[in-house]
Structure 1
Amino acid sequence: MNILALGIAVCLSIFIGLFWIHHCAYNRNLSSTVVKATNTNAEMGSTISVEPDDFADVGAYQFPLWMSAIVLIFSLSIYASGGHFQGWDKGRVDDSVDYLIAAKITKGREQVQQQPTNEMALMALAQSYAEGGMYADSVDTLSQLIELVGEDAGLLGMQATSMYYRDGRQFLPEARKVIDTALNLQRDELNTRMILATDAYLNGQYAVAIEHWRILQTNQTQSFNRQSINNAIMKAEFKLDEVSR
């Protein structure tokens, strides 16, 4: 909190300082203008008399004073109402499911309960579970869907991905079996190759990751961002060159 408060104080000081510098410069320019006007009137014999210090009354500084006070009060109010600001540098990851995803999951569950054989409802629920980090539920829902429609490479790839994250970012025998089945059905299946490439890249196996991505590029039946795959391959090749040096 002390670091945050110091940072806020420094920023406010700089802002207010610049504000006052600008105000003082404006007053000096105004003073110079009034003096010139006074000298001109005197030379021309004008009856108008303007004192150079007529503008420099107390009111000239009331506006910047009030502005400075407003900035300070407004900033401190926001700082104080910002919640648990004492622990700003001790934050932890919020593992709770986002309320929008939670709403989708609730709606999906209700729909599946009402229509347990609805393929679209099961698919949507499985995806919502995965989005919310509820990978075990996603695996179970995909199992129901696969049992309903039969073995499908895309569904098996999605299930293998959820198993991978459910098991702590590793491929246990159950996930390996699902992966083998998916690749036997479709060698370049999107989800399967993506999770295999991702795991290989994260573990420094850049050549393996490149191989999976290149096989994925032959996929003509599933839509995906091919440019992002090309970028991933180039990045992995760069990493591979660094390691081989």
Structure 2
Amino acid sequence: MRTLVEVVARAGPGGRTVLPVVRASGQLAVRRTGPTTVHLVATAFGPLGGDDAVVRLVVEAGARLAVRTVAAAVVLPARGESPPSVQRVHAEVAGVLDLQPEPTVVTAGAHHRAVLHAELDEDAELTAAELVQLGRTGEEPGRWTGTTRVTRAGVPVLHTTVALGPGAAAWLPPVAPRAWASTVHLGRAAARVTGEDAVRLPLDRGWVASAWGDRLAGTRAGLALLEGVPPVEEVLS
């Protein structure tokens, strides 16, 4: 199944954010749930192997947009030889975008590919989170591949790909985490910090933090500790 979501956020009168475009088709619906917030709602079970979802987000100068989901996404394989399911998020940001969906759970035999491509203007701000659990309780893990590309004013800031699960080149027991949590923030600099199975690395006027482990609950907690460390200017003051 092919899914398309489109949301445009624009600065309106009195500094309010208006959403002139809010539409979706396929496996997702989109609902405005707050002054600057939309939620994506699944209208069918999945994603299934072979499904292709595209989410297009445009945040114009002076506007703010927060994107959430109402529940975790459970990725299932198709019958027979299952091709990957794919979700591509394309974001054009001149204002402020906060993208924090609920976790993705990749079941045994499934392969999910997640792509975030964000193009930021010079003064734009971005926060984008990714939460992944391979396999349900008592189940063998599925496979997940995540790619993040971020540019600011046409200049590359971050380009990374992480592959987890059976068949991934770097996923070799005993170093084979089943849970992954990551946050990319562009807008305020932060110092490098390391923790147990977690790291926060500086970017140009931003940072990227990642944590990994066996269960997502502990992995999220490790990531939150790193995110809570003060920004670099506060550490040095």
Normalised to the residue count of structure 2, the TM-score between the two structures is 0.23
Query: Which structure shows the higher helix fraction?
Result: 1
Query: Whose strand proportion is higher, 1 or 2?
Result: 2
